Amino acid sequence: MKLLQIYRCLCDETRLRILHLLKRGPLCVCHFQTILKLPQVAVSKHLAYLRGKGLVTATRRQQWMIYSLPEKAPVELDLQLRCLQDCVQSYPIFREDLKRLQNIRCAGEPVQRAAIK
Amino acid sequence: MKLLQIYRCLCDETRLRILHLLKRGPLCVCHFQTILKLPQVAVSKHLAYLRGKGLVTATRRQQWMIYSLPEKAPVELDLQLRCLQDCVQSYPIFREDLKRLQNIRCAGEPVQRAAIK
DNA sequence: CACAAATATACCCACTAAGGTATATACGCT
DNA sequence: AGCGTATATACCTTAGTGGGTATATTTGTG
């Protein structure tokens, strides 16, 4: 059941934060490191997990791996990500992530170029 | 984070089916057994799990334990259960559960009296 | 009180996952 | 080719979970 795989991805805080951030646009691993303040290996492994279940896609852009939400996501995923956004409102940690995301965006780092394609 | 606990509850098929059924009203363990076609111990353990995380409540009514969704559920749970109902549309197993639920309801078994209070 | 029905719990086993350390791979630059 | 940065993977350890079997607990009934 695809829905189950989605829920399994959602039952980890780091992955919730990753998906929440990806709703705003593609990001590379090092930016996740900065925003989430987590070691590279942790970020990388969670991204691999999400990728394995099809919740995110990845493409290389020079030496960076750019992760995104899938372009044509199945209905369940779409509903769940929407629900996640709603639920997350009251949790400060997600807001803080967004703040750090803004800082990065303003700095004009590689993601920018990559996201624009 | 309460949201995480909810997601952890949702990442098991049996628990999804239980919560889906409880949306229709309170049920006792033996009815879950009948509807889910699972051994008593499995049902009981999943219900204990859900209860431990606060996703369901239980009260004794004679020799039956009646499980329900909490009366005043936190926002996240409410949103998640709503989302679950939406996602579940395309999965036959949940529809089949509802069918068996109807059969039980019509038979006028203890849940009836219990649910009416 | 003995017994049956309904439910919960204890214990065991297998599997998954999460975190950490170390190492490998890929790419860009000189 | 050698080096640095970015990223992935292998391996280890630990914790949580799910399924099964057996047993305990609670309640109702004769």
What pLDDT, in 10s, does the model give residues A28-54? Answer: 999 999 999 999 999 999 999 999 999
72-101 of B, contacting A, C-beta below 8 A: 75-76, 79-80, 82-83, 86-88, 90-91, 93
CB contact under 8 A, B11 and A16: no
28-57 of A, contacting B, C-beta below 8 A: none
* The pLDDT of residue A112 is above 80: no
CA distance linking residue B80 with residue B90, whole number of Å: 17
Choose among A109, A108, A66, A69: nearest CA to A85. A69
Residues touching nucleic chain D (CB < 7 Å):
A 28-30, 33, 40-41, 44-45, 47-48, 58, 63-65; B 8, 11-12, 14-15, 39, 41-42, 45-46, 49, 60, 62-63
Return all residues near A107 (Cβ < 8 A) that are at least 6 apart.
none
CB contact under 8 A, B16 and A8: no
For residue range A62-85, list pLDDT tens digits in order: 899 999 999 999 999 999 999 999
Residue in chain A closest to B6 (alpha carbons) equals A11
C-alpha separations of B51 from B6, B15, B107 in Å: 11, 11, 27
pLDDT for A104 equals 86
Query: Quick one: average pLDDT of B28-34?
Result: 95
Query: Quick one: average pLDDT of B41-66?
Result: 95
* The pLDDT of residue B110 is above 60: no
pLDDT for A107 equals 65
Q: Which amino acid is at A85?
A: Q
Return all residues near B98 (Cβ < 8 A) that are at least 6 apart.
B21, B24
The first and second tokens of residue B112, run together, are: 């009836």
* The pLDDT of residue A105 is above 60: yes
Q: A100, exposed or middle or buried, with CB in 10 Å at 0-12, 13-18, 19+?
A: middle
According to DSSP, residue A12 is labeled S
Query: Quick one: average pLDDT of A9-35?
Result: 97
What's the pLDDT band for B1 if we cut at 50, 70, 90? Answer: confident
What's the pLDDT band for A1 if we cut at 50, 70, 90? Answer: confident
pLDDT for B86 equals 96
* The pLDDT of residue B104 is above 90: no
Mean model confidence pLDDT for chain B: 90
Q: Which amino acid is at A12?
A: D
In sequence order, what E strands does B1-117 have? 27-28, 57-61, 64-68
Q: B4, exposed or middle or buried, with CB in 10 Å at 0-12, 13-18, 19+?
A: middle
The answer to whether A5 and A51 have CB atoms below 8 angstroms apart is: no
The first and second tokens of residue B39, run together, are: 């051994």
What's the pLDDT band for A116 if we cut at 50, 70, 90? Answer: very low
Choose among B108, B116, B89, B106: nearest CA to A79. B89
For residue range B94-103, list pLDDT tens digits in order: 999 999 999 8
* The pLDDT of residue B43 is above 80: yes
- Residue B23 — φ and ψ, nearest 5°? -60, -30
DSSP A50-110: HHHTTS-EEEEETTEEEEE--TT--HHHHHHHHHHHHHHTT-HHHHHHHHHHHHHHHHT-H
Query: Quick one: average pLDDT of B29-39?
Result: 96
- The pTM of the full predicted model, rounded to 2 decimals, is 0.90
pLDDT for B108 equals 53
Total CB pairs under 8 A between chain A and B: 54
CA distance linking residue B10 with residue B24, whole number of Å: 17
> Which residue among B3, B8, B16 places its CB closest to the CB of A87?
B3
